[in-house]
Amino acid sequence: DSGVTQTPKHLITATGQRVTLRCSPRSGDLSVYWYQQSLDQGLQFLIQYYNGEERAKGNILERFSAQQFPDLHSELNLSSLELGDSALYFCASSVGRFGEQYFGPGTRLTVT
């Protein structure tokens, strides 16, 4: 158990809908990272927050947004969902702006 929690574990929704994925980092970690793992693209970095501020941005679609709250938990919002958004979404955390990352169990999103 890495200490990083993600909810929900599984999510099934229809095209065009909006969902919110939630992540709580390890106690004491200030950075939260979001990753997408799809069958054809592998693991891809989406975005990083550090202590509430956006720190780095990767291949995140405009339909996706994220934020980190004062209690350091983070949410990833996915809207206007398409079939191709079906993937595993992982959250990871680290103590500082840079360092060893600890991964949550992931949320499996299926868009039908």
Partner 1 sequence: KNEVEQSPQNLTAQEGEFITINCSYSVGISALHWLQQHPGGGIVSLFMLSSGKKKHGRLIATINIQEKHSSLHITASHPRDSAVYICAVFMKTSGSRLTFGEGTQLTVNP
Q: Which residues bind partner 1 (CB under 8 A)?
A: 2, 31, 33, 35, 42-45, 48, 55-56, 58, 88, 90, 92, 94, 97-103, 105-106, 108
Q: Which is nearer to partner 1, 24 or 101 (CB)?
A: 101
Which tokens is 38 given? 């799809």
Please state the closest distance from residue 94 (CB atom) to partner 1, in A.
8
Say if residues 76 and 23 touch (Cβ distance below 8 Å). Answer: yes
CB atoms near residue 74 (< 10 Å): 24
Q: What is the DSSP secondary structure assignment for residue 63, as one 8-state letter?
A: T
Please state the closest distance from residue 16 (CB atom) to partner 1, in A.
26
Residue 1 CA, chain-centre distance (Å), reads 18
Q: Which is nearer to partner 1, 20 or 44 (CB)?
A: 44
Residue 57 CA: distances (Å) to CA of 14, 35, 43, 60: 27, 11, 15, 7
Please state the closest distance from residue 75 (CB atom) to partner 1, in A.
19
Q: Which is nearer to partner 1, 69 or 98 (CB)?
A: 98
